[in-house]
Amino acid sequence: MEKYQKVNDSYIWKDEELLIRHILPEHYMGKNLDKNKIDADYAVNFLQNELNSILNSFVNGGFSYRGFVFYPFIKDVSKENLRRIKFLKKIVVFLDQNGYDFSNSASKYRENINSSNFSSILSALYRDFSLVKAKNTEFIRKPICKEWSIDDYRKADLRYLRPLKKLKDYANNNLKQHLSGFYLHGSLATRDYIKGWSDIDTLAIVSKETIENPKHLLKLRKRMYHMRYFFYKIDPLQHHGSIVVSEYDLSNYCQPYFPIPVFNYAKSFFKEDSIRKVSARDYKSEALNKLFWFVNYFRKLNIERRFKQARFYS
């Protein structure tokens, strides 16, 4: 067996050390930020990727274990989310010192960071990020998604698909004021689903107005968490919520968040698909990071001899 070096929770072999900045970006930032070995463009992309990941977790719940058990009595934020947003303070200071205005975020970091002000800090970080001018982006015309309709499906499956109809109604009544777009993708959108196996795959694009208002962000979090009810009606074992992207990301878009060609096979839960164009940036680094996540997942199962878990997830 090859000899691996363990870095945090990952296993890498010797030649992969040359790819550390791509496959383990947080580790790379932590090791090199104070040594002035990080360029500002890399830091901006790292910040965007972390914000996207944190926003995904937060809007889909992102509670501590206690919060998941005792919701709605406890609506806290997980220790991991708190740790990650605290780490971004170093990035904010670095960017503020290298020609970018992150003064709004920096002022928020003077407060004690906790579950109560988490949405306020996240909102401030996105507002400052929105001031960063995108570089070397490529204009892409996004495919316009047809409105989803239960009438497009087999009559024999209408009872099975009723939760999707209720999800659409719920989204239009409770989510539309917070989202610029809300889409169904995957097998239920392309109508090649398998009853009892397929789950609900959705993409939510959070509007700038919601991101800029911490109270609205909290309201969206609550409503999207309640939305899981419809997911479980289709698949009681569904383990994920919705993919989430900020409207701010569309002007400096990273395709691994949600590849643009997938919109060709998606349906809109809203009558009008208002998202028409995207400016995409280079995403080779993020693509390597995604690939390494899968490689490391199975590598870890093998090295730590966790074969039973591997069979469970297969």
Q: For position 310, what pLDDT does the model report?
A: 45
pTM of the predicted model as reported, rounded to 2 decimal places: 0.93
CA angle at 254 for the pair 214 and 147, rounded to the nearest 5°? 75
Cα torsion through 92, 93, 94, 99, rounded to 10: 90
Q: What is the pLDDT of residues 143-198, one digit of tens each?
A: 999 999 999 999 999 999 999 999 999 999 999 999 999 999 999 999 999 998 99
Dihedral sign, CA of 96, 101, 105, 109? positive
Q: Do β-strands 243-246 and 5-7 pair in parallel, antiparallel, or remain unpaired?
A: unpaired
Q: For position 45, what pLDDT does the model report?
A: 97
Q: Are 207 and 239 in contact (CB under 8 A)?
A: no
Locate all alpha helices (DSSP H) within 11-145, ordered by sequence. Answer: 20-23, 25-32, 40-59, 65-70, 79-96, 103-108, 118-129
Q: For position 255, what pLDDT does the model report?
A: 97
Rounded Cα–Cα distance for residues 314 and 302 (Å): 14
Domains, the chain, ranges and CATH? 17-133 (no CATH), 138-280 (3.30.460), 284-314 (no CATH)
Indicate if the pLDDT at residue 34 is higher than 90.
no
Between 77-81, 126-130, 165-169, 300-304, the lowest mean confidence (pLDDT) is in 300-304
pLDDT grade for 203, boundaries at 50, 70 and 90:
very high
